[in-house]
Amino acid sequence: MTVKAVTAPIVALDVMGGDAGLADVMAAAEIASERYPRLAFRLHGPEPRIRAELARCPRLQKIATIVHTDEVVLGTDKPAHALRRSRTSSMGMAIDSVKQGEAHAAVSAGNTGALMAMALFSLRTMEGIDRPALAALLPTLRNDSVMLDLGANTECDADNLVQFAVMGAAFARTVLGLARPRVALLNIGEEELKGTDELKDAAVMLRAATDLPMTFEGFIEGDKIGQGNVDVIVTDGFSGNIALKTAEGTGKLVTGLLQQAFRTSWLTQLGYLLSRGALRALRAHLDPNAHNGAVFLGLNGVVVKSHGSADIRGIANAIGVAHDLVADNVGNRIRQDLAHIRGRAAVTGA
């Protein structure tokens, strides 16, 4: 199934996923509809509750279709169990709307493993992609960077990493507005001799891909991720998930230490008063809600994962990511770049 770029995207929204609750998910959709006036929704969940909340969302009620179900995928559900209810749960029905061409993208804040299993089973991977990858934005000292994979694939070969690089660059061109994103492979050193054979082989292939709309910068170490010297960081899902959680934990550590430091004396409290503006800017920059909206790249359809603990603003941002990916036809960008890679491999093999 090929989804064409459209100017009026329809988002299938799982209103039952995540910790925020149905009312907050609906409020987020209302905010997104104000940001993107041509956006429309298919709201998957219990119709009576959805209709009650629509009374508080005047714009949303004009552009939303309700798809009733009382079944919800719980955070404790195993992917295999959730998959058996893909036809009847709000998450599964939202993904099926994309498969059937009734929506252009699905958004859910529910169980990540279940969402991945359902999306892969229903939409399948696009031609030229062996495995989908989970990609998201990370804050840096400069602008945001894209990182993938963040947990979908614990082990990857060189071809997988090259495919991730192509998908990540296409994602960066859409969400970051970059004509030629800088791409790097996460490694234990920047030297060409460092790392696994898979990383070295992937680097060789990416260095040869000079005709693609991206610039390969080689290897990057973990302590350089936050500097913002590259736009796309590529790794396997095992390392990527650890790096992501470490970065999130470090952000909480920094803000926590600052809070403790400003409570030690009246002088530090005075310093807090003088620096409140800078601290608010720091908190906003590190706020996960500002970067909410991870994407399963490589599927025949757009599926966006909102963080389970995201607030109304964060969920609205995730919906915005879905809108941008559909409007910019990121799937077609990926297919074109993969065709270049395959064509070069065929010539080299000949």
Give dist(CA 43, CA 60) in Å, integer: 10
Give dist(CA 9, CA 153) in Å, integer: 29
Asked whether the beta carbons of 314 and 17 are under 8 A apart, the reply is no
Name residues of the chain where pLDDT drops below 70. Answer: 1-7, 274, 276, 278-286, 288, 342-350
Same domain, 142 and 254: yes
Q: Is 337 a domain residue?
A: no
Same domain, 151 and 278: yes
State how beta strands 10-14 and 105-108 pair: parallel
Same domain, 111 and 169: no
pLDDT at 350: 40
Q: Is 40 a domain residue?
A: yes
As to burial, measured by CB atoms within 10 angstroms (0-12 exposed, 13-18 middle, 19+ buried), residue 8 is: middle
Same domain, 60 and 39: yes
Q: Is 216 a domain residue?
A: yes
Q: Is 105 helix (H, G, I), strand (E, B) or coil?
A: strand
Nearest Cα to Cα of residue 342 among 196, 166, 186: 166
- The position carrying tokens 């603003």 is 313
pLDDT at 217: 94
In tens, the pLDDT along 37-68 reads 999 999 999 999 999 999 999 999 999 999 99
pLDDT at 210: 84
Same domain, 31 and 171: no
pLDDT at 308: 80
CATH number of the domain to which 302 belongs: 3.40.718.10
Same domain, 111 and 260: no
pLDDT at 264: 81
Nearest Cα to Cα of residue 293 among 269, 320, 268: 320
Q: Is 49 helix (H, G, I), strand (E, B) or coil?
A: helix
Which residues constitute the domain of residue 45? 1-129+298-328
Count how many domains the chain has. Answer: 2
State how beta strands 133-138 and 145-148 pair: antiparallel
Asked whether the beta carbons of 86 and 14 are under 8 A apart, the reply is no
Q: Helices marked H in 262-311 — which ranges? A: 266-274, 276-286
Same domain, 262 and 308: no
Same domain, 46 and 180: no
Same domain, 110 and 250: no
Same domain, 114 and 147: no
- The position carrying tokens 């736009």 is 231
Asked whether the beta carbons of 183 and 234 are under 8 A apart, the reply is yes
Same domain, 264 and 303: no
Give dist(CA 71, CA 19) in Å, integer: 16
Question: Backbone dihedral region of 28: left (phi > 0), alpha (psi from -120 to 50 degrees) or beta?
Answer: alpha
Same domain, 282 and 323: no
In tens, the pLDDT along 134-178 reads 998 888 888 889 999 898 888 899 999 999 999 999 999 988 889
